[in-house]
């Protein structure tokens, strides 16, 4: 049994043909993941009892002749910002190093109800703030493809485990690119669904108008299967959409001939030459598949980073106010008054990036600045969203790069926060508009570093996005 | 941005910063705010702010029947408290005498 090459469909087939049991698969997956993990630091902790418990339930269902669920026996890893009942959830923060959540996120409950086996929790930037995974209080993650480089962030661990083969699929979260960018850096598929497609109940809040949960997989089909399981209306999240959830994998018919695709010219100007070449070859593959490719313009793109870092930090400064030393495990010592305890706890507990964002968010929301910053940003956000609405009246999907460059070296950009923010330019627009978008592998640089092609579609049009990505993957990406 | 402003915002945010952090934060926030000023290039006077990302349902869609549902319970809610007692979260003294 080679965990690193398994897919959801091959696991299902193996279980139903009784070639292996879910308990056997889970034991082997845990053994492999624990042995390989020191190479990347992608898992923060494992959950063997919980995993074997789910596996036993899957085996019992099969023995009774029942359907064991859409994700039966599939080894899954979960980003450590998604709460798991009774299983430590740290958010990559010193503040929550010992936090044991009293409930499960809706996405977790749905995963396990479908037979998905949670092996453990993955490393990430503290409270999902970062683009390199270097902001974790528990050390950085190494990119499995190039160990001296970052895996991307903030869902670096969730991308790395899928690339490393220590999980078959995983869950991450995306606020400004935190699923697509690490997927592109590690050479796997990563999906940010439509805003509200997946319930955020139990996702530790960063920026509530931008936060998404989404899957990683080694194939488009695997990611599509996971999304069908976790998506759907949830009374516990008022922003979750009440739209029917298709069986996305069943719609992967590879019929993309005549599909109208737009390539935004604003997304091509700051690319490194190797990334630009690979994206151009990826677009050529789509053209050969019969897609009708044209250049389009998304004119507000230049303002996206400024807009995003106002809205995201403003919301974060409010959401992170709850970590005050009263309810969530960590409290500093030696403070005599309540206010000193708040300030000392937060000063000691948060890392540099969280502090920077809390400060920026507090500043833009402070008395006298609201109109100049937050209100202005919400107006610019409307313009960015309108760009996409206009584009989707002409094209069925948009194809673009995910990141201006491939995975960079550990430590290379950590001292220049603005440069790190600016590198999010191609991913934050999709989050600001709330549209579905994903990264699909698009070849490698001469040095062997993966590059991702981004596909964006209009609200709830995941089927077209997946169909295109699957056809691209089947055609061999840029190696066609 | 001055260091004094940084300290004022840190107080609003209930964040204790060291002197080194204050000086570093001043420079970094300055640089980021200078980039953010880019937004003033666009005229947005006639643009309506995007207050809701996506909401394709009736206004009453999130309302539910007014009936009791199981809740977390006191014990579970207190389990992660750094300091608790007698069913309460315990904090340092608030009122000075």
SS3 state of residue A367 = coil
**Crossing angle for the helix pair A48-63 and A8-16, to the nearest 10 degrees:** 50
Residue A410 has pLDDT above 50, yes or no: yes
d(CA A237, CA B63): 12
- Residue A20 in contact with partner chain B when CB distance is under 8 A: no
The chain-wide mean pLDDT, for chain A, equals 96
Look at residue A299 in the predicted model and tell me its pLDDT. Answer: 96
Look at residue B59 in the predicted model and tell me its pLDDT. Answer: 73
Residue A333 has pLDDT above 70, yes or no: yes
- Model confidence at B97, pLDDT cuts 50, 70, 90, reads low
Of all residues in chain B, the one with the smallest CA distance to A196 is B54
Look at residue A480 in the predicted model and tell me its pLDDT. Answer: 47
Out of A270-274, A381-385, B62-66, which region has the weakest mean confidence (pLDDT)?
B62-66
- Of A464, A297, A474, which is closest to residue A394 (Cα–Cα)? A297
d(CA A387, CA A402): 18
| CB–CB contact B39 A307 (8 Å) | yes
- Model confidence at A7, pLDDT cuts 50, 70, 90, reads very high
| CB–CB contact A235 B64 (8 Å) | yes
- Of A185, A178, A166, A239, which is closest to residue A214 (Cα–Cα)? A178
Tokens of A266: 């604003």
Across residues A123-139, what is the average pLDDT?
Answer: 97
Look at residue B51 in the predicted model and tell me its pLDDT. Answer: 83
d(CA A316, CA A318): 5
Residue A408 has pLDDT above 50, yes or no: yes
Q: Could you tell me where the beta strands, DSSP code E, fall in A156-201?
A: 169-174, 189-192
| CB–CB contact B39 A303 (8 Å) | yes
Strands A437-444 and A292-296: unpaired
**CB-based contact A59:A21 (threshold 8 Å):** yes
Q: Is A387 exposed, middle or buried (0-12, 13-18, 19+ CB in 10 A)?
A: buried
Strands A75-79 and A189-192: unpaired
Tokens of A392: 């989707």
- Of A148, A79, A69, which is closest to residue A118 (Cα–Cα)? A79
SS3 state of residue A258 = coil
Angle made by CA atoms A345, A351, A354, in degrees to the nearest 5: 95
d(CA A320, CA B12): 13
- The pTM for the full model equals 0.97
| CB–CB contact A336 B62 (8 Å) | no
DSSP string, A34-49: HHHGGGT--EEEE-HH
pLDDT tens column, A355-369: 999 999 999 999 899
When CB atoms are compared, the residue of A325, A342, A380 closest to B82 is A325
Strands A212-217 and A169-174: antiparallel
Residue A1 has pLDDT above 80, yes or no: no
Task: Give the domains, in start order, of chain A with CATH numbers.
Answer: 1-480 (3.90.1300.10)
Look at residue A462 in the predicted model and tell me its pLDDT. Answer: 98
Out of A132-146, A327-341, B45-59, which region has the weakest mean confidence (pLDDT)?
B45-59
Residues with Cβ within 8 Å of A390's Cβ and at least 6 positions away in sequence, in order, are: none
pLDDT tens column, A241-250: 989 999 999 9
Look at residue B56 in the predicted model and tell me its pLDDT. Answer: 66
| CB–CB contact B44 A376 (8 Å) | yes
- Model confidence at B57, pLDDT cuts 50, 70, 90, reads low
A158 is known as an active-site residue: no
A178 is known as an active-site residue: yes
pLDDT tens column, B4-37: 999 999 999 999 999 999 999 999 999 999 999 9
SS3 state of residue B2 = coil
A39 is known as an active-site residue: no
When CB atoms are compared, the residue of A210, A378, A417 closest to B49 is A378
Question: What is the number of helices (H) and of strands (E) in chain A?
Answer: 15, 11
**Crossing angle for the helix pair A48-63 and A22-36, to the nearest 10 degrees:** 160
Angle made by CA atoms A364, A370, A373, in degrees to the nearest 5: 60
Across residues A42-60, what is the average pLDDT?
Answer: 98
d(CA A283, CA A451): 13
Of all residues in chain B, the one with the smallest CA distance to A305 is B36
Look at residue A478 in the predicted model and tell me its pLDDT. Answer: 87
d(CA A440, CA A465): 10
**What is the distance in angstroms between the Cα of A466 and the nearest Cα belonging to chain B?**
21
Tokens of A188: 């796997």
d(CA A196, CA A473): 27
Across residues A280-300, what is the average pLDDT?
Answer: 97
Residue A293 has pLDDT above 90, yes or no: yes
Look at residue A409 in the predicted model and tell me its pLDDT. Answer: 97
Residue A137 has pLDDT above 60, yes or no: yes
Partners of residue A375 in chain B, C-beta under 8 Å:
49
């Amino acid at each position: 049994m080679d965990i690193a090459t398994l897919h959801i469909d091959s696991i299902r087939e193996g279980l139903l043909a009784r070639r292996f049991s879910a308990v056997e698969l889970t034991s082997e997956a845990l053994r492999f993941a624990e042995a390989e993990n020191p190479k990347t630091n992608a898992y923060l902790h494992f959950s063997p009892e919980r995993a074997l418990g789910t596996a036993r339930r899957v085996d019992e269902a099969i023995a009774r002749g029942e359907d064991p669920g859409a994700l039966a026996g599939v080894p899954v890893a979960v980003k450590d910002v998604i709460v798991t009942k009774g299983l430590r959830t740290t958010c990559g923060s010193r503040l929550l190093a010992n936090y044991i959540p009293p409930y499960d996120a809706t996405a977790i409950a749905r995963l396990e109800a479908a037979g998905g086996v949670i092996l453990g929790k993955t490393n990430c930037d503290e409270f999902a703030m970062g683009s390199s995974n270097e902001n974790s209080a528990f050390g950085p993650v190494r990119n499995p493809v190039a160990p001296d480089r970052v895996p991307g962030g903030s869902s670096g661990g969730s991308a790395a485990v899928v690339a490393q083969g220590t999980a078959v699929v995983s869950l991450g979260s995306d606020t400004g690119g935190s699923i697509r960018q690490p997927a592109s850096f590690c050479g796997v598929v990563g999906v940010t669904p439509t805003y509200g497609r997946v319930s955020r109940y139990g996702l530790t809040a960063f920026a509530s108008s931008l936060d998404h949960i989404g899957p990683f997989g080694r194939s488009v089909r695997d990611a599509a299967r996971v999304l069908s399981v976790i998506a759907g209306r949830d009374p516990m999240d008022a922003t979750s959409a009440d739209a029917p959830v298709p069986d996305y994998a069943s719609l992967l018919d590879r019929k993309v001939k005549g599909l109208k695709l737009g390539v935004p010219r604003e997304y091509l100007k700051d690319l490194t030459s190797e990334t630009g070449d690979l994206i151009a070859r990826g677009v050529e593959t789509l053209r050969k598949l019969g897609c009708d490719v044209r250049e389009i313009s998304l004119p507000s793109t230049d303002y996206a980073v400024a807009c995003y870092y106002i809205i995201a930090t403003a919301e974060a400064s409010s959401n992170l106010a709850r970590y005050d030393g009263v309810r969530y495990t960590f409290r500093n010592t030696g403070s005599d008054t309540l206010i000193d305890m708040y300030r000392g706890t937060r000063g000691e507990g948060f890392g540099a990036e969280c502090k920077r964002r809390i400060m920026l968010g507090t500043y833009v929301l402070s008395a006298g600045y609201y109109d100049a910053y937050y209100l202005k940003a919400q107006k610019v956000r409307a313009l960015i969203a309108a760009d996409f609405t206009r584009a989707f009246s002409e094209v069925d999907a948009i194809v673009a790069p995910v990141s201006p460059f491939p995975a960079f070296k550990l430590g290379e950009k950590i001292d220049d926060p603005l440069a790190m923010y600016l590198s999010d330019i191609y991913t934050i627009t999709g989050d600001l508009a709330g549209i579905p978008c994903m990264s699909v592998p698009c070849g490698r640089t001469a040095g062997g570093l993966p590059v991702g092609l981004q596909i964006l579609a209009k609200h709830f049009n995941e089927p077209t996005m997946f169909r295109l990505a699957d056809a691209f993957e089947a055609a061999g990406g840029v190696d066609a | 941005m001055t260091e004094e402003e940084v300290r004022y915002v840190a107080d609003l945010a209930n964040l204790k910063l060291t002197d080194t952090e204050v000086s570093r934060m001043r420079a970094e926030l300055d640089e980021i705010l200078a980039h953010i000023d880019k937004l003033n290039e666009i005229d947005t006077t006639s643009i309506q702010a995007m207050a809701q990302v996506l909401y394709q349902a009736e206004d009453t869609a999130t309302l539910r029947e007014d009936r009791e549902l199981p809740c977390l319970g006191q014990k579970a809610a207190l389990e992660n408290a750094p300091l608790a007692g007698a069913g309460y979260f315990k904090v340092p003294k608030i009122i000075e005498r």
